[in-house]
Amino acid sequence: MILWAVLLLSHCRLGPSGAAAESTGLERIGTCGTRCSQGLHCKVRPDYLFPPQCLAATDALNTSSVFHNISLSTVMRCEGRQKCSLHLRMETVLQLAEPIRGLSICTATAGMMVNCQIFSFTRSSRERMSGSQVEVEHDCTTVSPNQRVQVMVKTVPSYCDITWSGTYDAPDCSSGDLRRHVPECITGRLSYDVNPEKRELSVSVSEMLDDHNYHLRLCYKDFICSGAGPNALIKKEEPVKSATLPYSQPLPCLCIEGWSAVMDAPRVQLCPFKDRLEELWFGVAFDPLEETLSWELVCPVPTGVALCQKRGDGVCVDLPQAFRNVTSGKVAFTEVDPHPQLCMKEKNRAVSLNLTGELCNSCVQVRRLGMKYAATVVHCVELCNQSSPPRSVVVRQTSRDMTWVIVPVGVCLSGIIMATLVLHVLLTVYQRRKQKEHGNEKQTDPALDCVVPALQAHPHGGILVPDSPQCGNAEKANLISQ
């Protein structure tokens, strides 16, 4: 019981601290600096603008065991709730030797100059701790979110064979800790209400950057989000951070975009109608003079469209050679017959159709000539017999022809059947040959070599060969005529 009580108390004590550590995210520091092992005095100064060439390592140095356990991590230094910066922390364990007077740490990022600093050890402290392992920690290198940093660590003086280099990627803005406290990651949180009667979006903003105005707009999302109306500005002095944005059509690529009024501010996007794909059909138009049926996609949706003829049972049958792949822009069909049964349909998803399985009448199909795409009108002579109701057949219609699947499968099955027959014939021949060889072995047995001990005279003037007890087959001897 005492042991269970101790474990329970330990869990209760460690639980809140673990949750707090997880909720805080990155480690916080009050001030940046350089820290060395106790007894080792460090001094920081900039590295040489033109560093000298490296030296050959002496016998007193073991080039493979100078640096140990070099680690890179990110810490956060904050001056306010939304005024935090990221710092790169470098920790290393150094095997201190007499020729080593310090360390040189260089960092390089894309588009920036190399930044190097020297951490020199005082003579008295390095003589006192020579031959022992010492720790050096530095966290004054500022980094940006999602920035790649190259780090190089060398000794002072620099020896050619004693160098460590590595690459480190700083955390990006997907972390909630960074989105709340680092200005480069603060985008604001958007929420909206839709008024379909007035075609308006009421947008509210929370967790925006303090002491800065905020921009809102509607845009069509593509490779970039192009504007779909004027911007709305939310002043930092306004107690209610909201705005109303009118829209003309609830397209799936119509998005709300918001960002703080600062240089190179990150942006957040929210698309309230992303599932309204049926709205894209409003881009279909027909030009009676040009006899052209066109569809202009405002939103980049990869799909396929085809012309089809709608039948009386609601099924739309594809017209030959009337399929187009569409990703963006405009697709057009020329020389189109403006018939009410001629339709355009999307073919990016499979659909289930109920079709009649038996046709009991003869019909005449009529199609207008001189047109590249025209509807086929069906005229039936007689009505179906109502006593035998048509049987319903469910057909899965896809944009691909099933022939390309059935034909290879049939060829493969035929090959398997032929191979099976050939193997069966070969096995039969082999078995018969084995049986024949076994029969020949029986005929050539030594017991079959018979010896006739005596010849007996036959009263009719012939010679009778009697039955020999030495014959293995026990057959009667033949009468040999003189």
Is residue 293 domain-shared with residue 264, that is, in the same domain? Answer: no
The CA–CA distances, whole Å, from 28 to 75, 78, 89, 177 equal: 6, 7, 12, 11
Residue 201: predicted pLDDT = 96
Sequence-ordered list of residues with C-beta below 8 angstroms from that of 380, at least 6 positions apart, any chain: 361, 362, 363, 364
Number of domains observed in the structure of the chain: 5
Average pLDDT over residues 201-230: 91
Is residue 420 domain-shared with residue 286, that is, in the same domain? Answer: no
Q: What is the CA radius of gyration of the chain?
A: 46
Residue 188 in this model has a pLDDT that exceeds 60: yes
With a threshold of 0.85, does the pTM exceed it? no
Is residue 346 domain-shared with residue 245, that is, in the same domain? Answer: no
Domain boundary (252, 270, 288) is at 270
**Structural domain containing residue 410:** 405-440
Residue 303 in this model has a pLDDT that exceeds 50: yes
Q: Are 119 and 103 in contact (CB under 8 A)?
A: yes
Q: What sign does the CA torsion over 175, 179, 181, 185 have?
A: positive
Geometric angle at alpha carbon 339, from 338 and 340, rounded to 5°: 120
Q: Are 296 and 342 in contact (CB under 8 A)?
A: no
Domain boundary (150, 178, 206) is at 178
pLDDT digits (tens, 9 = 90+) for 131-187: 889 999 999 999 999 999 999 999 888 888 888 999 999 999 988 899 999 999 999
Is residue 93 domain-shared with residue 77, that is, in the same domain? Answer: yes
For 199, the enclosing helix (H) or strand (E) is none
Sequence-ordered list of residues with C-beta below 8 angstroms from that of 474, at least 6 positions apart, any chain: 467
Confidence grade of residue 371 (pLDDT, cut at 50, 70, 90): low
Output 52 or 373, whichever has higher pLDDT. 52
Average pLDDT over residues 295-301: 81
Q: What is the mean pLDDT of the chain?
A: 77
Burial 144-167 (b: 16+ CB within 10 A, else e): ebebebebebbbbeebeebbeeee
Q: Does 446 reside within a domain?
A: no
Question: Residue 245: exposed, middle, or buried by beta-carbon count in 10 A (0-12, 13-18, 19+)?
Answer: buried
For 188, the enclosing helix (H) or strand (E) is none
Is residue 258 domain-shared with residue 301, that is, in the same domain? Answer: no
Backbone phi and psi for residue 200, each to the nearest 5 degrees, phi listed first: -135, 150
DSSP line for 464-477: E-PPPTT-TT-PPP
Token pair for 175: 């972390």
Bridge partners of 305, per DSSP, are 324, 346
Is residue 57 domain-shared with residue 154, that is, in the same domain? Answer: yes
Q: Does 12 reside within a domain?
A: no
Token pair for 420: 């099976």
Q: Cβ of 195: how many Cβ atoms within 10 Å?
A: 12
Q: Does 428 reside within a domain?
A: yes
Average pLDDT over residues 220-241: 88
Confidence grade of residue 445 (pLDDT, cut at 50, 70, 90): very low
Q: Are 82 and 186 in contact (CB under 8 A)?
A: yes
Q: Does 19 reside within a domain?
A: no
> Which of 92-96, 194-198, 419-423, 466-470 has maximum average pLDDT?
194-198
Residue 420 in this model has a pLDDT that exceeds 60: yes
Q: Any idea which residue has 């989105």 for tokens?
A: 179
Is residue 32 domain-shared with residue 165, that is, in the same domain? Answer: yes
DSSP line for 365-397: EEE-TT-SB-PEEEEESSPPPTTSPPPEEEEEE
Is residue 382 domain-shared with residue 321, that is, in the same domain? Answer: yes
Residue 323: predicted pLDDT = 87
Is residue 234 domain-shared with residue 95, that is, in the same domain? Answer: no
Q: Does 16 reside within a domain?
A: no
Q: Does 82 reside within a domain?
A: yes
Is residue 197 domain-shared with residue 299, that is, in the same domain? Answer: no
Residue 204: predicted pLDDT = 95
Domain boundary (129, 151, 178) is at 178
Q: Does 10 reside within a domain?
A: no
Report how far residue 144's alpha carbon sits from residue 172's, in angstroms, rounded to the nearest whole number. Answer: 9
Is residue 220 domain-shared with residue 139, that is, in the same domain? Answer: no
Is residue 319 domain-shared with residue 373, that is, in the same domain? Answer: yes
What's 195's domain CATH number? 2.60.40.2150
Q: Does 380 reside within a domain?
A: yes
Output 156 or 47, whichever has higher pLDDT. 156
